[in-house]
Amino acid sequence: MKLNHAIGRFIMGLRRPSKTTNMRRLREWGETMESFTIREVTENDLPALAALHVQTWNDTYWTVRNPPTIEIREYQWREQFTVKDGSWFCYVVQNREGRLIGFAKGLVYNHADLPDFGGELSKIYLLLEYQRLGLGRLLMGYVARRFLSQGITSMVLFGIPQNPSCRFHEALHGERLYSKKGEFHGGYGWRDLQKLAEICPVD
C-alpha cells in the first residue's frame, strides 16, 4: 500500500516544475517574494477565484477525467459567500499585476470522529509556476494565525495519500492521521497551531 501511494505521488507530481525552474521564471518576470500580496477574499474575486480553483485542481489531479467546470466552481463559491456566520474564511495570493495565483480556505471543524481538532484547512492551492517558492508556507501561516484569532488552536486537513503535497504537509510538521485499522488515507493534523502561525509576518 505504501509503495502504491509513493508511485501515485510520483505520477501526480510529474507536471510540477522544480524550485529552480520557478525561481528562474520569477526573475524573468521581474517578480520577487515582496511582489505578492496575501489578503482575504472578497465577492469581487469570485469569477477569478472560480477559474483559479479549476486550473489548480486540474493541475493537481490531472489524471482525473471530467473534472469540475468553472460553472460548477463558481456556483460552489457563490453559495459559500452566502454563509455570513464566520464559520469559514479564505485567503488569496495575488501577484503584482493583481492576478490571483493561489488561495487557502479554512472552516470551523466540529466532528465527533476527530474531537481534538477545531479547524479544517479545506483547500490550499497554488498555480504550478508559483509553487516551491515559499508562498504555500505563508498561506499556512495566515490560516493558522486566523484560526488562533478565533480561539481555535488545532487544525486538520483531508486529502489523498497519492497527492505530492503530502511531503509539503509533513515538512510543516503535519501529523499523519490513521484510521482505526491503521490505514493512512491522506489526512493530516496540527494539534498546536502556534508554530505555523509564526511563519506569517507580523503586521
Please give the residue range of the domain that contains residue 27: 2-197
- Within a domain: 187: yes
- Within a domain: 203: no
Mean pLDDT of 185-201: 93
Q: Grid coordinates 495570493 are at which residue?
A: 93
- Within a domain: 202: no
- Within a domain: 10: yes
Residue 14 has pLDDT above 60, yes or no: no
| pLDDT tier for residue 176 given thresholds of 50, 70 and 90 | very high
pLDDT of residue 6: 43
- Within a domain: 76: yes
State the helix-helix crossing angle for 46-60 and 70-81, rounded to 10 degrees. Answer: 130
In the numeric block, which cell numbers belong to residue 187? 489526512
pLDDT of residue 12: 45
In the numeric block, which cell numbers belong to residue 25? 521564471
- Within a domain: 51: yes
Mean pLDDT of 43-48: 97
- Distance (Å) of CA 84 to CA 79, 88, 191: 11, 8, 27
- Distance (Å) of CA 200 to CA 85, 134, 181: 25, 11, 36
pLDDT of residue 161: 84
| pLDDT tier for residue 4 given thresholds of 50, 70 and 90 | very low
Mean pLDDT of 6-21: 62
Identity of the residue numbered 124: I
* pLDDT tens digits along 133-167: 999 999 999 999 999 999 999 999 998 887 878 88
pLDDT of residue 201: 75
* pLDDT tens digits along 108-137: 999 988 999 999 999 999 999 999 999 999
One DSSP character per residue, 48-109 reads HHHHHHHHHHHHHTTT-SSPPPHHHHHHHHHHHHT--SSSEEEEEEE-TTS-EEEEEEEEE-
Mean predicted lDDT score pLDDT of the chain: 90
- Within a domain: 25: yes
CATH of the domain at 37: 3.40.630.30
Q: Count structural domains, the chain.
A: 1
pLDDT of residue 61: 86
* pLDDT tens digits along 55-77: 999 998 877 888 999 999 999 99
Residue 5 neighbours by CB under 8 Å, 6+ apart? 161, 162, 184
Residue 187 has pLDDT above 90, yes or no: yes
- Within a domain: 145: yes
